[in-house]
Amino acid sequence: MSERSRIGVVFDKARADGRALLVGCMPAGFPTVEGSIAAMKTMIAAGVDVIELEIPYSDPVMDGPVIQRASGIALAGGVRTRDALRIVEEVAATGAPVAAMTYWNPIEQYGVDAFARDLAAAGGTGMVTPDLIPDEADEWLAASDAYGLDRTFLVAPSSTDERLAMTVAHCRGFVYATALMGVTGARAQISQAAPVLVSRVRAVTDLPVGVGLGVGTGAQAAAVAGYADAVIVGSALIRCLLDAPDQESGLSALRAVSAELAEGVRNPTP
Amino acid sequence: MSADALAAPAAQFPDAAGHFGRFGGRFVPEALVAALDELGAAHRAAMADEQFRAEFDALLRDYAGTPSLLYEAHRFSARAGARVLLKREDLNHTGAHKVRNVLGQALLTRRMGKKRVIAETGAGQHGVATATAAALFDLDCVVYMGQVDTERQALNVARMRMLGATVVPVTNGSRTLKDAMNEAMRDWVANVDDTHYLIGTAAGPDPFPRLVRDFVRGIGDEARAQCLELTGALPDAITACVGGGSNALGIFHAFTDDPQVRLYGFEAGGEGVATGRHAASITGGSAGVLHGTRTYVLQDADGQTQESHSISAGLDYPGVGPEHAWLHDTGRASYRPVTDAEAMAAFELLCRTEGIIPAIESAHALAGTLAVAGELAAELGRQPTIVVNLSGRGDKDVHTAGEYFGILDKE
């Protein structure tokens, strides 16, 4: 397996362009399997650089009300893990990197090695694992090495220096810095803890750092782009579809918010 | 599992990272790890601190009313065909074994300098116990409770409010205990600096399973000494109900190194495990990850948690503490389902033979006792002695039981 991850190349280019990447999160199968594919393609067309495809889970403890509702709708619609893999394949065909974001139990039930094999075959770049810490990740470490997938573990403002260094050492592709202590969801103000956390990560790695939790506007995206390599947005995008009366107006709102955020990451606030 | 691990005394488990064999551990957001480490260190230091232990013992004795009685239930024994000794945890303050856990964790909360506790509750028993300890220790208290449960347990909601707690109805997911637990975790991630999550059972990420076990293990320590004094011998079997499993672990632990003492955990079989409408995670579920730990879980093929069903709100949970999963795998304890109907028959029998109204949870242990008494007698060639953990009283269940038996006056 090569040392340089596929997503690393995309980060390199953005860095050369003096901008951050925009990572957009969307649950697989929300509002339907086809609807989620359309949503992700819309996001990419409007300037989202990387898709973080969340595999819906019945008990998403890191997620706020918006993603909970969207995941619930996807599950009620009958979406399966294998559908998520098909969505990865369709969306990755656009050329944009697609990473899976998933709670651990669905992967454990699918089979860790089998999921890694199928995710790689579908063209996925790796996994973001909100409730899997490296301490419990032996199987995933082996499977991700075997299939050349990225591993994005989360770091938090509460992580000790020792844990932060250990966690980052197990990451490949990029590191996910949770900007605040709390669950996902757009907030009026971005946490002051985020820049501090990013600089702590930079002290121990050259890997790109993405910042998530709370970003919802172009101005916020520009501010985060001033110190991070990627701005990760979920709830603000998903809300476009939740709030819309029909698919067409939902995709239209999604296009507009994606474009605003994309403009933000291309014009970092110094 | 290696033969060494099987032979090792249970007291050596979990390992340093909170694993009970292949179960347990920590499946949590990184944001919580520092708090779990802090809690684990505080728990270890407290257990080694004589002053802490003395204070805990004094609270249990002077406030909670322990040691609870071990009562020989003669008339129930005659019906069971066994010498049945009831560990009367129903007589504790707040009416269940749970007071032991909340007092221990409230002491730990104070030791860590935290001012706020949060809890999840199903039937409301753990919520009431937590609100009680919070009042006693002058802590802010928020209890998450599924909206379905706040409606069917309105009296307990009122109790919590009287004690000064804030009750938050949880309206997402299935609006029951598992969703209340999700919501408590979300609160904890956001407020971990000043808040302790006072979890209600021996489940969740390490160190919760071990610390809850340590706070409730007095049940078994007391029962062991009381049984020796009363009968001159150890019992042949211990029986307890298992939802999350704290009362069962609490009474099992003093006996895990006595191989002649059989340990039985009775899960909520609901309408029958074959119907799919049950809460028997060990007998009807499979290994998976839920609420921060690897254990037996009711789940579909994709790992989505399935809803549990039981007439007993306290057992109505789709997971189980990881130590039970391990005791099951090693064979040290046996787990069997008890249906709603079997539990309610035993409930009625205890009411009529002993004048004791048990919690419906505890009625599962009574029904299981009736089921295994004959097997044990046949195996031993004599009348067996069985200690039943009567983990709670039935006041909270009067409405449910009244409806079940059709004895409520019509409006």
Instruction: Express each pLDDT in A11-70 by its tens digit.
Output: 999 999 999 999 999 999 999 999 999 999 999 999 999 999 999 999 998 888 899 999
Examine the residue annotation and report whether A52 is marked as an active-site residue of this protein. Answer: yes
Taking CA–CA distances from B306, the nearest residue in chain A reads A58
**A225: distance to nearest CA of chain B, Å?**
23
Of the residues B179, B212, B245, the one at which a domain ends: B212
Q: What is the mean pLDDT of chain B?
A: 94
Q: Is A197 a member of any domain? A: yes
User: Are the C-beta atoms of B32 and B188 separated by less than 8 Å?
Assistant: yes
Q: Write the residue in A133, A182, A183 that is nearest to B30 by C-beta.
A: A133
Of the residues B177, B212, B247, the one at which a domain ends: B212
Taking CA–CA distances from A157, the nearest residue in chain B reads B31
Query: C-alpha A7: how far from its chain's center?
Result: 12
Taking CA–CA distances from A154, the nearest residue in chain B reads B30
Query: C-alpha B394: how far from its chain's center?
Result: 15
Residue B173 burial class via C-beta count within 10 angstroms: exposed 0-12, middle 13-18, buried 19 and up = buried
Q: Are residues B396 and B284 in the same domain?
A: yes
- Flag whether pLDDT at B3 surpasses 70: no
Say what the pLDDT of residue B172 is: 84
Lowest mean pLDDT among A46-60, B214-228, B354-368, B394-408: B394-408
Largest interatomic CA distance in chain A: 49
Alpha carbon dihedral B47, B53, B55, B59, in 10-degree steps, equals: 100
Q: Is A270 a member of any domain? A: no
Say what the pLDDT of residue B151 is: 84
Q: Is A115 a member of any domain? A: yes
Q: Is B13 a member of any domain? A: no
Q: Are residues B120 and B31 in the same domain?
A: yes
Please indicate whether residue B11 or residue B46 has the higher confidence score (pLDDT).
B46
Q: Are residues B154 and B79 in the same domain?
A: no
At A90-115, the pLDDT tens digits run: 999 999 999 999 999 999 999 999 99
B30 touches chain A (CB under 8 A): yes
- In this complex, do B29 and A130 lie within 8 Å of one another by their Cβ atoms? yes
How many other CB atoms are there within 10 angstroms of residue A135's CB atom? 16
- In this complex, do B29 and A155 lie within 8 Å of one another by their Cβ atoms? no
Q: Are residues B88 and B102 in the same domain?
A: no
* Preceding omega of B29 cis (within 30 degrees of 0): no
**A61: distance to nearest CA of chain B, Å?**
5
- In this complex, do A163 and B193 lie within 8 Å of one another by their Cβ atoms? no
| Number of domains within chain A | 1
Q: Is A1 a member of any domain? A: no
- In this complex, do A108 and B288 lie within 8 Å of one another by their Cβ atoms? yes
- Flag whether pLDDT at B296 surpasses 80: yes
Interface of B with A in 233-272 (CB under 8 A): none
Which structural domain, as residue segments, surrounds residue A151?
6-265
A106 touches chain B (CB under 8 A): yes
For residues B272-279, give the mean pLDDT.
97
Q: Are residues B52 and B169 in the same domain?
A: yes
List the strands of the sheet with B83-88, edge to edge: B70-72, B83-88, B385-390, B237-242, B262-270, B333-339
Separation in Å, CA B354 to CA A55, B38, B84, B357: 53, 46, 12, 9
- Kindly list the residues from chain B whose CB atom is less than 8 angstroms away from the CB atom of residue A131: 27-29, 289, 292
Model confidence at A4, pLDDT cuts 50, 70, 90, reads: low
Element (H, E) at B401: helix B398-405
- Kindly list the residues from chain A whose CB atom is less than 8 angstroms away from the CB atom of residue B301: 109
Q: Write the residue in A57, A69, A181 that is nearest to B192 by C-beta.
A: A181
At B37-55, the pLDDT tens digits run: 999 999 999 999 999 999 9
Task: Answer yes or no: is the ipTM higher than 0.85.
Answer: yes
Between A and B, how many residue pairs show a Cβ–Cβ distance under 8 A? 116
- In this complex, do B172 and A72 lie within 8 Å of one another by their Cβ atoms? yes
Which structural domain, as residue segments, surrounds residue B83?
66-95+216-405
Please indicate whether residue B125 or residue A199 has the higher confidence score (pLDDT).
A199
What span, in angstroms and rounded, lies between the C-alpha atoms of B39 and B24? Answer: 16
Say what the pLDDT of residue B122 is: 87
Q: Is A61 a member of any domain? A: yes
- In this complex, do A183 and B17 lie within 8 Å of one another by their Cβ atoms? no
- Kindly list the residues from chain A whose CB atom is less than 8 angstroms away from the CB atom of residue B303: 57, 81, 105-110
What span, in angstroms and rounded, lies between the C-alpha atoms of A266 and A221? Answer: 9
Q: Write the residue in A109, A178, A183 that is nearest to B299 by C-beta.
A: A109
Taking CA–CA distances from B171, the nearest residue in chain A reads A65
What span, in angstroms and rounded, lies between the C-alpha atoms of B285 and B289? Answer: 12
pLDDT > 70: percent of chain B: 97
Active site residues of B: 98, 120, 391
What span, in angstroms and rounded, lies between the C-alpha atoms of B51 and B70? Answer: 28
For residues B278-296, give the mean pLDDT.
97
Model confidence at B5, pLDDT cuts 50, 70, 90, reads: very low
- Flag whether pLDDT at B27 surpasses 80: yes
Alpha carbon dihedral B30, B32, B33, B36, in 10-degree steps, equals: -160
For residues B234-243, give the mean pLDDT.
98
For residues B363-385, give the mean pLDDT.
98
B185 touches chain A (CB under 8 A): yes
**B306: distance to nearest CA of chain A, Å?**
8
Say what the pLDDT of residue B50 is: 97
Model confidence at B365, pLDDT cuts 50, 70, 90, reads: very high
Q: Write the residue in B26, B178, B185 that is nearest to A136 by C-beta.
A: B26
- In this complex, do B302 and A110 lie within 8 Å of one another by their Cβ atoms? yes
A134 touches chain B (CB under 8 A): no
Say what the pLDDT of residue A1 is: 38
For residues B199-222, give the mean pLDDT.
97
Q: Are residues B26 and B110 in the same domain?
A: yes
Q: Write the residue in B27, B30, B192 that is nearest to A167 by C-beta.
A: B30
- In this complex, do B31 and A136 lie within 8 Å of one another by their Cβ atoms? no
Q: Is B52 a member of any domain? A: yes
At B71-110, the pLDDT tens digits run: 999 999 999 999 999 999 999 999 999 999 999 999 999 9
CATH number of the domain residue B313 falls in = 3.40.50.1100
The token duo for B121 is 């509750």
Q: Are residues B56 and B169 in the same domain?
A: yes
CATH number of the domain residue A137 falls in = 3.20.20.70
Of the residues B193, B212, B231, the one at which a domain ends: B212
**A31: distance to nearest CA of chain B, Å?**
17
Q: Are residues B169 and B233 in the same domain?
A: no
Say what the pLDDT of residue A183 is: 79
Interface of A with B in 206-225 (CB under 8 A): none
Q: Are residues B55 and B184 in the same domain?
A: yes
A148 touches chain B (CB under 8 A): no
Please indicate whether residue B411 or residue B369 has the higher confidence score (pLDDT).
B369
At A217-264, the pLDDT tens digits run: 999 999 999 999 999 999 999 999 999 999 999 999 999 999 999 999
- Kindly list the residues from chain A whose CB atom is less than 8 angstroms away from the CB atom of residue B184: none
- Kindly list the residues from chain A whose CB atom is less than 8 angstroms away from the CB atom of residue B185: 61
- In this complex, do B289 and A75 lie within 8 Å of one another by their Cβ atoms? no
What span, in angstroms and rounded, lies between the C-alpha atoms of B62 and B47? Answer: 20
For residues B7-18, give the mean pLDDT.
69
Say what the pLDDT of residue B6 is: 36
Say what the pLDDT of residue B2 is: 36
- In this complex, do A109 and B288 lie within 8 Å of one another by their Cβ atoms? yes
Token pair 């520092």 is found at B34
Q: Are residues B182 and B45 in the same domain?
A: yes
**B242: distance to nearest CA of chain A, Å?**
22
For residues B292-315, give the mean pLDDT.
96
Say what the pLDDT of residue A191 is: 73
State the catalytic residue, choosing from A3, A49, A59, A63: A63
At B141-193, the pLDDT tens digits run: 999 999 988 987 888 999 999 999 999 999 988 888 889 999 999 999 889 88
Q: Are residues B231 and B373 in the same domain?
A: yes
Q: Are residues B102 and B248 in the same domain?
A: no
| Number of domains within chain B | 2
B193 touches chain A (CB under 8 A): yes
- Flag whether pLDDT at B12 surpasses 70: no
